[in-house]
Structure 1
Amino acid sequence: MHYTRIAPIFLCILCLTSFKSPVVKEIVVKNNLNYERKEIVTVPISFIRIKSKEIPLLEVYQNSKIVISQLIDMNGDSTYDQIVFQATIGANETQTYKIQVGSKKATAPSLTHSRYVPERIDDFAWENNLVAFRTYGPEAQRLVDQNEKGGTLSSGLDCWLKRVDYPIIDKWYKKYVDGGSYHKDDQNEGYDPYHVGASRGCGGIGVWKNDSLYVSKNFISYRKIAEGPLRNIFTLTYAPWKVDDVTIQETKQITLDVGSQLYMVEEFIHSSGSIPNVTVGITLHDKKGVTSADSTKAWFSYWESIDDSELGTGVVIRKGSLIKYIDYRTPKKDLSQLYVLARMKSPKLMSQPSQLVYYTGFGWKKAGVITSKDIWNNYLDKFSERISSPLWITFK
């Protein structure tokens, strides 16, 4: 999920090198931090210089052992744009990987999954081996607008608390269709006790202005980009919404990697005028939990009790994007939230959207990975360090 930094000195070499099949491209990956990192490395196919027909046969090797990889077509033109693989690199360590054309493509179960869910009105849900989420579509909004039963009016993001490493989305929705409830943990897989309501849930956005949060309604369309053993990518688009007399057009691209408690959100916003910020929110529910924040490293956390366990939710943004945060408390239902106010990156052309990148997600104590507030805050702290110091990648 983290962007990797590619050393430019090697790029000119690519243009002068001719390859014979099988193509061998050596990739040197360096970790500049003083602890081990297990992250997804992204390599543009354009850096490999390969015939189109050979791209589906690309494999990644380390020390002659095949490494799980995934090919991704970002723009839907039926041509792969990226190959990604998972690297585990020790403190201040450098490792070398090889990409080549082969025939022994490593297979692995898809531990990331996302889909539109028409059988539950029209949710959109996504998950990896650690966490799961959902949000709500136009039919759920229509039911509310027309005072019919079963609707949900919200662009907030819901947490599904799973404690197994296999996919649960399809299974839990089938349980719902069969008359059961995913709000009960009756199979020791997890459940959905997380309340969103009118809040931002875990990482929804809005614009904070004059002590009010302006927000969109439900998403109106989606586009799936990638699904596989390592990475899931999709977009959600929202109907135009207003901040006073300014019209906002919003699309968010979500990327969830295997092994991560957080997913990356790339917000793309066109506005008819200036807006003071984009604000990422975390609901404080009954306000009995503990908020934590590090403005220097730009991470923000809420740790709360939930039924017979505990839950940490959080937001991490890039340090240069932070304006400020607000621990906002009110007697109004669902509106007490931890707000992270951020500035967007301005586009180079007026026709392009402004952009904000942030990360959000959770850790549930019963899942056995994040078992205390201190562990959760430390996770967010190191996550911030990793996005500030991405893996350094060079090509031989």
Structure 2
Amino acid sequence: MAHAQTQDQASSAVMAKPTGVQQTPRATVTLAPYRFNDILWENDRTAHRIYSRELEKNEPPSSSGIDAWGKSVRWPFMDRQLRTGDQHANHGEGVDFYDVGTGRGAGGLGIWADNKLWTSRNWSDWKVIQNGPDVAAFSVDYAPWPVGVDRKVWETRTFSLPLGTNFTRMVSTISSDKTGPLIVGIGISKRKRASGTGVFRRDLAPGRVTFWEPADPKKGSMAIALMVDPKSVVEVRQDFDNYLVLIKVEPGKPFVYYMGAAWDEGLDFHSSAEWDAYVAEQKPDFDPRH
């Protein structure tokens, strides 16, 4: 009993809401070695996670898709919440209820070939570029993975999330052991609940798609959006797990895309119309040199 009380007290202390200067909004990126090296990044509006090879070994299956957390405060909370081991409950600052599953989650990618999406395993190496306070930026490597039976690709991707936006900017360089263009599929995991399948919208002229998930009866809805360079767009497709924006890229040449997410029980967006209007007003920079 005493041991259980100690655990409860520790959990309560970890999730005690910050006060004073601790409530200052900031962008931050954190490695979570206590949870198989998850990478957590967040700012004052949104929060995300990606998974390591350690998680693959300990809790298969796992996915190189991108996780999104509901967030209802302006200050960082992910690390404290994950340390409780009870991140799927709402402790007053947000909640982890988005299920990446076997899909791409919120903006993971793969190579589209032979009418199929070929995806990497989880990230194999990482590096912090800037840990706040104004920007959370880092890079990850994805080890070579097969595309069909006669080609391999590998990827380095940088992630950058400044304060004041729901969008993470990503710069991806996909290399290949063969020449010739690649079709990259950037995905959003599908959903099916008692409330339906959600609302998926596409506007390919500016290279944007949005998804308002069907509501979870207890935890609400997540909104996801992708922005890609309209000059690179091939089409929008679906596979069993995902809505996919297909773009054409050249091996070894970096390309830029954006992923955004919001929670309808958070601070900023409470309807699909509000979310779509926000996405429509964005002015993304697709120049990888910036």
TM-score category (smaller protein): 0.7 to 0.9
Kept in 1: contact 2:116–2:239 (CA 8 A):
no
User: 1:184-333, aligned counterparts within 5 Å?
Assistant: 184-185=89-90, 187-244=91-148, 245-273=150-178, 274-286=180-192, 288-308=197-217, 309-326=220-237, 328=238, 330=240
- C-alpha separation in 2, matches of 1:215 and 1:338: 15
List gaps (5 residues or longer) in structure 1: 1-107, 144-149, 348-352, 391-396
TM-score (norm 1): 0.62
Q: Tell me how far 1:141 sits from its aligned partner.
A: 1.6
- C-alpha separation in 2, matches of 1:110 and 1:377: 25
Structure 1 residues 224 and 110: CA distance shift in structure 2, 3 A: farther
Give the partner amino acid of 1:240: P
Is 1:182 aligned with 2:87?
Answer: yes
- C-alpha separation in 2, matches of 1:109 and 1:256: 17
Q: Tell me how far 1:284 sits from its aligned partner.
A: 1.1
Is 1:377 aligned with 2:281?
Answer: no
Q: Tell me how far 1:110 sits from its aligned partner.
A: 6.2
Kept in 1: contact 2:24–2:75 (CA 8 A):
no
Structure 1 residues 152 and 117: CA distance shift in structure 2, 3 A: farther
- C-alpha separation in 2, matches of 1:240 and 1:193: 30
Kept in 2: contact 1:135–1:157 (CA 8 A):
yes
Is 1:133 aligned with 2:48?
Answer: yes
Alpha-carbon RMSD: 1.9
Give the match's secondary structure for 1:376. Answer: helix
Give the match's secondary structure for 1:161. Answer: strand
Give 1:38's aligned residue: none
- C-alpha separation in 2, matches of 1:247 and 1:240: 6
Give 1:366's aligned residue: 265
Give the partner amino acid of 1:314: A
Larger radius of gyration: 1
- C-alpha separation in 2, matches of 1:343 and 1:209: 12
Give 1:164's aligned residue: 73
- C-alpha separation in 2, matches of 1:175 and 1:313: 26
Give the partner amino acid of 1:293: R
- C-alpha separation in 1, matches of 2:25 and 2:267: 22
Structure 1 residues 306 and 190: CA distance shift in structure 2, 3 A: farther
Identity fraction in percent? 28
Q: Tell me how far 1:302 sits from its aligned partner.
A: 0.7
Is 1:356 aligned with 2:258?
Answer: no
- C-alpha separation in 1, matches of 2:126 and 2:25: 21
Deviation by residue 1:200-257 (Cα, 9 ceiling, x = unmatched): 0000000112221100001011000112221111001111111121111101100001
Kept in 1: contact 2:26–2:75 (CA 8 A):
yes
Give the partner amino acid of 2:93: E
Give the partner amino acid of 2:55: A
Give the partner amino acid of 1:215: T
TM-score (norm 2): 0.84
- C-alpha separation in 2, matches of 1:365 and 1:289: 13
Kept in 2: contact 1:110–1:227 (CA 8 A):
no
Give the match's secondary structure for 2:277. Answer: helix
Quick check: 361-370 or 156-165, which moved more? 361-370
Kept in 1: contact 2:29–2:132 (CA 8 A):
no
User: 1:97-136, aligned counterparts within 5 Å?
Assistant: 109=24, 111-136=26-51
Quick check: 134-143 or 190-199, which moved more? 134-143
Kept in 1: contact 2:44–2:163 (CA 8 A):
yes
- C-alpha separation in 1, matches of 2:61 and 2:37: 10
- C-alpha separation in 2, matches of 1:198 and 1:307: 19
Deviation by residue 1:159-181 (Cα, 9 ceiling, x = unmatched): 111110010122112212xxxx1
Give the match's secondary structure for 1:277. Answer: strand
Structure 1 residues 295 and 166: CA distance shift in structure 2, 3 A: same
Pairing partner for 1:387 from 281, 284, 287: 284
User: 1:11-30, aligned counterparts within 5 Å?
Assistant: none
Kept in 1: contact 2:25–2:44 (CA 8 A):
no
Give the match's secondary structure for 1:160. Answer: strand
- C-alpha separation in 1, matches of 2:31 and 2:40: 7
Give the match's secondary structure for 2:152. Answer: strand
- C-alpha separation in 2, matches of 1:369 and 1:256: 17
Runs of 4+ more than 6 Å apart: none
